[in-house]
Amino acid sequence: MLLELEQIAQTVKLRLDQHQTSGRTLTLKIKFSDYQQITRSKTVLTPIRELSA
């Protein structure tokens, strides 16, 4: 799952770079096969510009 998340993060970063924009809130939504879902978000003071942990 971590490898897939890393690939998604790289795709999002490329799209943000293409539009010369950034964001301050990261949201993760996980959906399970039984239709249960978990959503978590984190907002930081400065825009997220790098793929660091």
Distance CA 46, CA 53 (A): 15
Distance CA 51, CA 10 (A): 7
Q: Residues 3-31: pLDDT tens digits?
A: 999 999 999 999 999 999 999 999 999 99
The structure tokens listed for 14 are 């490329």
Confidence bin at 53 (pLDDT 50/70/90): low
Report the pLDDT value the prediction gives residue 45, as an integer from 0 to 100: 96
Compute the chain's Rg from CA coordinates: 13
26 Cβ neighbours under 8 A, 6+ residues apart: 41, 42, 44, 48
Distance CA 47, CA 22 (A): 6
Q: Residues 30-39: pLDDT tens digits?
A: 999 999 999 9
